[in-house]
Amino acid sequence: MTRNETVDVLIIGSGASGAAVAWSLAETRMNILCLEQGDWTKPTDFPANGRDWEARRYGDFAISPNERARVTDYPVNDADSPMKVANFNGVGGGTIFYTAHFPRLHPSDFRVRSLDGVASDWPIDYWALEPFFAENDRMMGVSGLAGDPGVPARDPPMPPIPLGRTGAAYARAMNRLGWHWWPSDTTVATTEYDGRAACINLGHCTPGCAQGAKASTDITYWPRALRAGVKLRPRCRVREITLNEHGMAAGAIYYDADGAECFQPAEMVILAANGIGTPRLLLNSASARFPDGLANSSGLVGRNLMLHPWPQVSGYVAETVDGGRGPMTCLWSKQFYETDPARDFVRGYTLQFARGAGPVAEAVDSLAAGRLPWGKGHHRAFRALLDHRLRIGIACEDLPEEHNRVTLDPVLTDSNGIPAAKIHYRIGENTRRMMAHGIARATEIMEAAGASQIGVSPTLNSPGHLLGTARMGTDPERSVVNPWGRCHDVRNLFIVDGSIWVTSGGVNPTSTIQALALYIADQIKRRLATLFDPE
C-alpha cells in the first residue's frame, strides 16, 4: 500500500460542505487535502450542450446514482424505501445536481422539542448560524428579494429570477386565496457575479448548468480554496478511516483512479460525504475498538435518516406558460410552514412552485401519470400539456425516527469492492398527515389558477435529501458529534455534512448544510490550541 505524506487536515468529499470547510480553513495555512471519489465536470460535459439534453437525465446525468451508474458512483440499495436517493459524486457533489433552490431552515426548526414537543432541539440555534448563512450567500452568489414576511430578514446580493408567465399564474392564484408567496432565494446568477454571467435561461438547471450561472462549489468555493493552497485529489475513493494506538483518527485508506490502495495519514479528518456516504464510511471503518462502526458508541450512526417526502401536484392551464424555458423553481410559500395547533400534525412544509418541463420530460411524466395516451389521441393530448403545466412541490418536514436508517448491504458493493449502503425507510404518520394537507392546499391553488387535469405525482423518487444519520448533540449517548461537529468518540474526527442534522425542516438543505460547515470551520479555528482536548 502506498503511504502518502501526512497532512494536517484531510477532508473526505468535495461537495456543498467539504468545499465550504476547505475554503474557510485555508486561512489557517494548515496543509489541507480533500479526497473526492468523482471527477471534475467540464461545462461541455453537461447535457444542455447537445440535442440529447433531455434523454441524458435518464442515463449518465440521472439524479439517482443507481440509474446513473458511473464508475465514480456507488450504488445504494433503496429497495426497502418508498423514497429513492439523489446525489452526485464529483467535485461539487450535490451542488452540481441541485435545483439551486436556496431556502434556509427557520429559527423554529432548531427548537422543535421546546416549541412543538417533538423530536429534539438542536444544540445550536438559527442565530448562531446567521452570519454564516450571510457569508455563504455571498460565496455562492444568491439571488432573491429582501422583505419576505415568511422568513427572518436576509439580504440576497442579486435580484430574484424573473416571475415569468408561470410565476405570474401562481401569484394571481395565491393572491386570490390570500396566501403567502415570495420569489425564491436561488443560487442562479441574475446579474454578473464573481465571474459568472447572468442566467440566459437554459431551463435545465438540475443536471448541471452548462453556462455556469448556477452556483456549484466547483466554480465558487473550490477555485478560491485551491488558490489559497488547499489540495484536491479527484478519483480517490475512501474505503475506511483508521485509528492510531491512542484511539485517534490516523488517516484514511483509499483507492486511486487505477484502483491502487493508498494510505493518507492526517492529523485530523473531516467527513463531508453526505447523509448516506458518511455513515457508510463510518460503518465500513469498524475496528476492535469500535466493532459497530467508527464513532458509534451511541449506536446512532446511520439512524434517524430523513429524506424529505415531497409530493408534487401538477395542473394544466389554458394559457401558454414558461414550460422548460427558465430556472425550474421560481417561488416559495411559507403559508403552512409553522406549526398550527388546529391541524392534525405538527411542524409544516414549504410549497415550492416550479415551471414546466421540456418536450421529452413532459411526455414521459404525462405518460406515467396517465395524462398522455399512446395511439391516435397522442398528438392532440400532448398539445394541451406542453408549455401549459404548473407544478407545486410540497417540501415536508421529515421527523427523525431511529428505525429509518442506513446499514451496510451484505452483498452489494461499489466498483472497488467496498460494501454499499442500504437504506431502510418508512414515511411517518405525522408526515403522512402533512403530505395530505399539502396536497389538498396545492390542489386548491391549482383550482384558483384555473388549472385542469390536476393530479398528484405517482412517485416520491425525488429529491431524496440525505439528512440526520450522525446527529449532533451534547449527550454522547444520544448523538454522534458535539455541537461543533467533533465526534464524541474520536476527538480529531469531524463531520460537517447533512448527517449531523437533528431535524430536517421543510426546505432544501444546501444553504443550511453550508452555513453549518462554515460555523464548524469557524469553531475549529477558534479552538485550534485545544481542539483535541477532552470535552
Partner 1 sequence: METSQDSGLSAPDINVLRRLAGVLIPPDAALAMPGADDPEILADLLATLGRDRARVRAALAALRAAGFDAAAPAEAEALALSWMATGGPEAGTLGRVILQCYYRDPRVLRALGQDPRPPFPRGHVLEQGDWSLLDPVRARAPFWRDDRAGAA
Residues 211-230 that bind partner 1 (CB under 8 A): 211
Q: What is the CA radius of gyration of the chain?
A: 22
Residues in region 258-297 near partner 1 by CB under 8 A: none
CA angle 61, 469, 73 (to 5 degrees): 25
Nearest Cα to Cα of residue 221 among 21, 361, 46, 470: 21
Residues in region 73-112 near partner 1 by CB under 8 A: 106-108, 110-111
Grid coordinates of 496: 460537517
Nearest Cα to Cα of residue 415 among 69, 87, 88, 79: 69
Task: Rank residues 33 and 174 by Cβ distance to partner 1 and give the closer one.
Answer: 174
Minimal distance, residue 383 CB to partner 1, in Å = 7
Residues in region 314-333 near partner 1 by CB under 8 A: 322, 325-326
Task: Rank residues 172 and 478 by Cβ distance to partner 1 and give the closer one.
Answer: 172
With CB under 8 A as the rule, give the number of residues binding partner 1: 75
Positive or negative, the CA dihedral 438, 443, 448, 450 is positive
Task: Rank residues 234 and 359 by Cβ distance to partner 1 and give the closer one.
Answer: 359
Judged by CB under 8 A, does residue 338 bind partner 1?
Answer: yes
Torsion-angle region of 448 (φ positive above 0: left; ψ -120 to 50: alpha; else: beta): alpha
Minimal distance, residue 494 CB to partner 1, in Å = 26
Q: How far is CA 326 from CA 329, 457, 496, in A?
A: 9, 22, 32
Task: Rank residues 3 and 383 by Cβ distance to partner 1 and give the closer one.
Answer: 383
Task: Rank residues 51 and 246 by Cβ distance to partner 1 and give the closer one.
Answer: 51
Residues in region 128-157 near partner 1 by CB under 8 A: 147, 149-152
Task: Rank residues 162 and 265 by Cβ distance to partner 1 and give the closer one.
Answer: 162
From 24-32, 54-62, 253-261, 494-502, span contacting partner 1 (CB under 8 A): 54-62
Is residue 395 within 8 A of residue 356, CB to CB? The reply is no
Judged by CB under 8 A, does residue 378 bind partner 1?
Answer: yes
Task: Rank residues 180 and 426 by Cβ distance to partner 1 and give the closer one.
Answer: 180
- For the chain, give the number of residues: 535
Minimal distance, residue 49 CB to partner 1, in Å = 5
Task: Rank residues 39 and 338 by Cβ distance to partner 1 and give the closer one.
Answer: 338
Judged by CB under 8 A, does residue 126 bind partner 1?
Answer: yes
Residues in region 164-203 near partner 1 by CB under 8 A: 164-165, 167-168, 171-172, 174-175, 178, 180-183, 199-203
Provide the β-strand partners of residue 188: 214
From 14-22, 371-379, 399-407, 520-528, span contacting partner 1 (CB under 8 A): 371-379
Task: Rank residues 105 and 238 by Cβ distance to partner 1 and give the closer one.
Answer: 105
Among 28, 30, 40, 55, the residue binding partner 1 under the rule CB under 8 A is 55
Minimal distance, residue 150 CB to partner 1, in Å = 6
Task: Rank residues 266 and 330 by Cβ distance to partner 1 and give the closer one.
Answer: 330
Is residue 295 within 8 A of residue 493, CB to CB? The reply is yes
Show the site string, 379-418: x = touches partner 1 by CB under 8 A, - = not.
xx-xx--xx-------------------------------
Task: Rank residues 178 and 534 by Cβ distance to partner 1 and give the closer one.
Answer: 178
CA atoms in the 13 A half-sphere facing the CB of 247 = 11
Tell me how far apart the 2 most distant CA atoms of the chain are, in Å.
74
180-201 exposure pattern, b = at least 16 Cβ within 10 A, e = fewer:
bbbbbbbbbbbeebeebebbeb
Minimal distance, residue 315 CB to partner 1, in Å = 19
Is residue 463 within 8 A of residue 238, CB to CB? The reply is no
Among 117, 375, 417, 534, the residue binding partner 1 under the rule CB under 8 A is 375
Among 45, 124, 162, 443, the residue binding partner 1 under the rule CB under 8 A is 162
- In 324-438, DSSP assigns E strands to 329-333, 349-354, 389-396, 405-413, 419-424
Instruction: Give the Cα separation of 39 and 17 in Å (integer).
Output: 17
Minimal distance, residue 481 CB to partner 1, in Å = 22
Among 367, 436, 439, 448, the residue binding partner 1 under the rule CB under 8 A is 367
Cβ neighbourhood burial of 361 (10 Å; 0-12, 13-18, 19+) = middle
Instruction: Give the Cα separation of 72 and 237 in Å (integer).
Output: 8
